[in-house]
């Protein structure tokens, strides 16, 4: 099997490439990545020679067309992924997330290549802070930010291309990922960096907003379950049933890093800040036999802290 991984030099994509090469030696991997501020070849260190890297933009139709024509399956991670950036400068989100997805699905229809679209639970909007409601595949779309609305738009393009043009696509909507190689702009790496340099971690608002955390390897194992056993046209929700307030996450980090639990700055809130995300992944688990297995959040977070502290001492390339 030959796969084209877009965004394979970013956080989740690079973990996907690493895990694929470790667990599926028969799969040949081509990575297409524009190496924006969020992507780095250092995320793929140690894998040189085991995959093919193409530096390029998913908006480049000729390049996309020629790469798609060489593979059996596209796994589409490439995106502008940070909500705060989307609030300051939305245009790159429209370009990459919507128009970039358009280029890929056009090429997949033309060459009859399978397409897996990586998306987010943020397309559903948010849930009230208190309550037990969770997102399912039937939850109506109601995105709040330029980022989440551009991801919602891309999901809808994929669905329309399945129905109108016979695109052989699957979609997954996953909750917040954590683990190695995440960009320092995101909550967990940013807080680790601040605490490590003796500064207080900065929580938006009162820190009560809730995210549903999944280890990146559990997400990527879910993606492989979909690639191997998913049904064309279906949407699969991926999550690990692990809701925590941002304050709780930061307090765990402070404990791990030996600082008092009140060593925190509360700063101005994110505009339109989604209150709570929660994924009900039971339908995916029942259909595909996939289950998140990296369960102990505190232990996984301690490993993640250790990984980032190690990386802080490494030269960047
Ligand atoms: P990231 O920002 O770490 O990586 C994105 C990668 O895409 C980078 O390597 C970047 O260089 C590349 N890229 C950006 N624009 C490009 C373009 N126009 N052409 C080619 N490459 C381009 O993102 P991430 O956190 O790894 O997220 C990957 C995917 O997973 C995204 O689609 C995101 O919406 C989705 N997702 C993320 C999370 C999360 O918690 N991080 C959760 C659910 C879904
Ligand atoms: O400095 C911070 N302080 C803070 O309180 C940062 C960077 C974040 N936060 C809060 C905002 C969110 O409630 O922490 C929470 C997590 O923030 P992010 O790491 O920016 O992630 P989020 O906005 O939840 O979106 C993430 O999960 C879904 C990814 O960035 C998306 O790509 C994914 O789709």
Q: What is the 3-state secondary structure (H, E, C) of 103-124?
A: HHHHHHHHHCCEEEEEEEHHHH
Q: What are the residues facing 6 on neighbouring strands? A: 32, 76
Handedness of CA 168, 171, 177, 183 (dihedral sign): positive
Cα 261 to ligand 1 centre (Å): 32
Pocket test of ligand 2: the residue of 129, 204, 210 to mutate, having most ligand atoms within 8 Å of its CB, is: 204
Cα 25 to ligand 2 centre (Å): 34
Q: Which is the closest atom of ligand 2 to the Cα of 145?
A: 23
- Structure confidence at residue 312 (pLDDT): 79
Per-residue model confidence as pLDDT tens for the chain (317 residues): 999 999 999 999 999 999 999 999 999 999 999 999 999 999 999 999 999 999 999 999 999 999 999 999 999 999 999 999 999 999 999 999 999 999 999 999 999 999 999 999 999 999 999 999 999 999 999 999 999 999 999 999 999 999 999 999 999 999 999 999 999 999 999 999 999 999 999 999 999 999 999 999 999 999 999 999 999 999 999 999 999 999 999 999 999 999 999 999 999 999 999 999 999 999 999 999 999 999 999 999 999 999 999 987 765 44
Residues framing ligand 2 (Cβ under 6 A):
81-83, 120, 122, 176, 186-187, 190, 202-204, 209, 211, 246, 270
- Structure confidence at residue 23 (pLDDT): 95
Distance CA 221, CA 267 (A): 36
Ligand index nearest the alpha carbon of residue 173: 1
For residue 5, give the 3-state DSSP assignment: strand
Ligand index nearest the alpha carbon of residue 95: 1
Domains, the chain, with CATH or none: 2-178+213-240+278-293 (3.40.50.720)
What pairing do the DSSP bridges indicate for beta strands 52-55 and 169-174?
Answer: unpaired
pTM above 0.95, yes or no: yes
- Determine which residue's CA is closest to atom 27 belonging to ligand 2: 176
243 lines ligand 1 (CB under 6 A): no
Instruction: Give me the interface pTM, i.e. the ipTM.
Output: 0.99
- Determine which residue's CA is closest to atom 44 belonging to ligand 1: 120
Pocket test of ligand 1: the residue of 10, 222, 278 to mutate, having most ligand atoms within 8 Å of its CB, is: 10
- Structure confidence at residue 314 (pLDDT): 60
- Structure confidence at residue 317 (pLDDT): 43
For residue 104, give the 3-state DSSP assignment: helix
172 lines ligand 1 (CB under 6 A): no
Catalytic residues: 121-122, 147
Distance CA 153, CA 133 (A): 24
Cα 169 to ligand 1 centre (Å): 19
Give the angle 137-98-159 at the CA atoms, nearest 5°: 35
- Helix (H) / strand (E) element for 150: namely helix 146-165
Distance CA 38, CA 43 (A): 10
- Determine which residue's CA is closest to atom 12 belonging to ligand 1: 7
- Determine which residue's CA is closest to atom 30 belonging to ligand 2: 82
Which of 3, 35, 41 has its CA nearest to residue 21?
A: 3
Give the angle 172-177-178 at the CA atoms, nearest 5°: 160
284 lines ligand 1 (CB under 6 A): no
Rg value, the chain, Cα: 19
Tokens in use for 255? 């404990």
Q: Which residue has the tokens 């029942």?
A: 286
59 lines ligand 1 (CB under 6 A): yes
Helix 246-256 to helix 297-312 angle, to the nearest 10 degrees?
A: 60
- Determine which residue's CA is closest to atom 41 belonging to ligand 1: 177
């Amino acid at each position: 099997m030959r796969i084209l991984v877009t965004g394979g030099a970013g956080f989740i994509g690079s973990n996907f490439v690493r895990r694929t090469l470790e667990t599926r030696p028969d799969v040949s991997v081509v990575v297409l990545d524009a190496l924006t501020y969020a992507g780095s070849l250092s995320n793929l260190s140690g894998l040189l020679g085991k995959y093919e890297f193409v530096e390029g933009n998913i908006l480049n139709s000729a390049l996309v067309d020629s790469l798609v024509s060489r593979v059996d399956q596209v796994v589409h991670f490439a995106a502008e992924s940070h909500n705060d950036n989307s609030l300051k400068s939305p245009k790159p989100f429209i370009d990459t997330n919507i128009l970039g997805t358009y280029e890929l699905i056009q090429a997949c229809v033309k060459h009859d290549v399978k397409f897996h679209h990586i998306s987010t639970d943020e397309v559903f909007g948010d849930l009230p802070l208190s309550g037990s409601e969770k997102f399912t595949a039937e939850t109506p779309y109601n995105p709040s930010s330029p980022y989440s609305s551009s991801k919602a738009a891309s999901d809808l393009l994929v669905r329309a291309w399945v129905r109108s043009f016979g695109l052989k696509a699957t979609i997954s909507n996953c909750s917040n990922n954590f683990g190695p190689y995440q960009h320092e702009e995101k909550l967990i790496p940013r807080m680790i960096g601040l605490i490590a340099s003796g500064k207080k971690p900065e929580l938006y608002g009162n820190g009560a907003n809730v995210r549903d955390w999944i280890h990146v390897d559990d997400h990527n194992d879910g993606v492989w379950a979909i690639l191997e056993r998913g049904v064309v046209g279906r949407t699969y929700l991926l999550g690990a049933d692990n809701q925590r307030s941002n304050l709780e996450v930061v307090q765990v980090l402070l404990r791990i890093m030996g600082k008092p639990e009140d060593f925190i700055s509360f700063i101005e809130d994110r505009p339109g800040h989604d209150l709570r995300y929660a994924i009900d992944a039971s339908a995916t688990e029942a259909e595909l036999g996939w289950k998140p297995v990296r369960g102990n959040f505190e232990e996984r977070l301690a490993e993640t802290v250790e990984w980032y502290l190690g990386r802080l001492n490494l030269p960047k390339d």
